[in-house]
Copies of this chain bind each other. A is one copy, B any other.
Amino acid sequence: MADRYLEFASSGLGGWVVEALGLPKPAPLLRRAEADAGPALPLLLGPSADGRMADVVGRVTAASGVAVHAEWTPDVRYGALVYDASDCLSVAATQGLYRFFHQAIRSVAEHGRIVVVGAPPQTARTAEGEAIQRGLEGFVRSLAKEARRSIAVQLLYVAPGREDAAQSTLAFLLSPRSAYVSGQVIRVEAAGVAADPSLGHAGRHVLVTGAARGIGEAIVRLFAAEGARVTALDVPSAHDELQALAREIGADPLALDITAPEAAGVLLQTARARGGFDVVVHNAGITRDRTLGRMDAREWDSVMAVNLGAPLALTRVLLEAGLVRRNGRIVAVSSLSGVAGNMGQTNYALSKAGWIGAVDRLARDGLTHGITVNAVAPGFIETRMTAAIPFAVREAGRRMNSMGQGGSPVDVAETIAWLAHPASGGVNGQVVRVCGQSLLGA
């Protein structure tokens, strides 16, 4: 990232603009591959060492060799803060939240993690309790904007009795795998199928569409590295890249246009041959950007078909044939454009916002056998697609987030791998942004 931005930010007028927009100065993220394997910094747990999250925090930290402190100590650098605000149900009770973070926030090390745990607002018995629990969103999103230094901050709503089901999520949020996820609100509310959080994706059957390059390639590589059997699907025109990738990592290539008339038949046949899929990742997507007045009908139709129509139809076909297995996962790749809209993307934003509705519907209907349906919404991710964006627009996209940089395809893949984890059955119907807390939104 040879950084014209830094030059700009150091100039007179540039400094003015950077300050005006509150843009951060970027520092490279530490992801799983780059994370230091040295002694891990301790985690500070508040407000109480024996709260409802203590067991889960204990298991997560034990697995990663992290010490848990119950008392803030000056001069200690903490790798993470976890604060259970579930009992914070009145304006007066927020003083505890204030005191904890007022004291501890500057003790968090670079690349640290902060997780505020709440109870789903609707579970509060009073309007004031619901107001405070919902208000935590504003608190966390503000803290995430303040934290800087590549510190990620999230709000995790855990329904009463679902503490154990939150383990895989807490582990993800405290790990380097969530480096580009910040300012997010995640709910663990579903019962899901109980599964050992120490299990990985080994032996799971995974289908990834749009697999030949970019984000799809990263997803395929990650699942394959974790021992999954991956079916890597992409359009016939990507045949060579797909073959090369599949050969390199031992995946099964499937050259198929998901909008073709024969797509459902071919996919069913493949699924049956595998004995069904444990994980289906709808990553295939295209853009045909143009303002609506200039967009032609084909540009509209093709985006709608590839991004929404075909994957919805294939999902239905697989579910109806029982080819999504017990404790299965469906994960769609939505987009920040679907959340906030974007100039020149009426078609794309409709298709991506459509997935937010589809995820909500399928999760609400309650699929059988513990199957969950979630989406990720990437922000600015560095791919061949974004490399083609004009320099200035690309730079702006990179900087307008709390991490001050674009994400990597692996950040999206890691987030999908968490949602797809056998022990993540408590997370259902969620849309998680992978955007470094982009300033953009709705």
- The complex places the Cα of A21 from the Cα of B394 at a distance, in Å, of 10
CB distance from A286 to the nearest CB of B (A): 14
| Chain B residues closer than 8 Å to A352, beta-carbon distance | 135, 138
Contact of B349 with A102 in the complex, beta carbons under 8 Å: no
| Chain B residues closer than 8 Å to A360, beta-carbon distance | 121, 130, 134
Contact of B20 with A345 in the complex, beta carbons under 8 Å: no
- The complex places the Cα of A102 from the Cα of B124 at a distance, in Å, of 47
Contact with B along A420-442 (1 / 0, CB 8 A): 00000000000000000001111
- The complex places the Cα of A353 from the Cα of B133 at a distance, in Å, of 9
| Chain B residues closer than 8 Å to A342, beta-carbon distance | 141-142, 145
Contact with B along A268-297 (1 / 0, CB 8 A): 000000000000000000000001110101
Residue A132 lies at the interface, judged by CB distance under 8 Å to chain B: yes
Number of interface residues of A (CB under 8 A): 91
Residue A91 lies at the interface, judged by CB distance under 8 Å to chain B: yes
Contact of B141 with A349 in the complex, beta carbons under 8 Å: yes
Contact of B135 with A351 in the complex, beta carbons under 8 Å: yes
- The complex places the Cα of A352 from the Cα of B138 at a distance, in Å, of 7
CB distance from A71 to the nearest CB of B (A): 18
CB distance from A404 to the nearest CB of B (A): 13
Residue A257 lies at the interface, judged by CB distance under 8 Å to chain B: no
| Chain B residues closer than 8 Å to A362, beta-carbon distance | 127
Contact of A292 with B354 in the complex, beta carbons under 8 Å: no
- Report which of B95, B137, B295 forms a contact with A300, defined as CB distance below 8 A: B95
Residue A395 lies at the interface, judged by CB distance under 8 Å to chain B: yes
| Chain B residues closer than 8 Å to A354, beta-carbon distance | 131-132, 134-135, 138
- The complex places the Cα of A337 from the Cα of B360 at a distance, in Å, of 26
CB contact under 8 A between A357 and B131, given known A141-B349, A337-B142: yes
Nearest chain-B residue to A391 (Cβ)? Answer: B20
Q: Which of A38-46, A48-56, A206-214, A308-316 contacts B (4 or more CB under 8 A)?
A: A308-316
Residue A13 lies at the interface, judged by CB distance under 8 Å to chain B: yes
Contact of B297 with A95 in the complex, beta carbons under 8 Å: yes
Nearest chain-B residue to A143 (Cβ)? Answer: B346
Instruction: List chain A positions with a Cβ less than 8 A from chain B.
Output: 8, 13-14, 16-17, 19-22, 91-92, 94-95, 98-99, 101-102, 105-106, 121-122, 124, 127-128, 130-146, 183, 291-293, 295, 297, 300-301, 304-305, 308-309, 312, 316, 337-358, 360-362, 364-365, 392-393, 395-396, 400, 439-442
Starting from the known contacts A20-B395, A95-B300, A132-B354, 16 additional A-B residue pairs (CB-CB under 8 Å) come to A13-B13, A20-B393, A22-B396, A91-B304, A94-B300, A127-B361, A127-B362, A130-B357, A130-B358, A131-B361, A132-B350, A134-B353, A136-B350, A142-B337, A144-B341, A146-B292
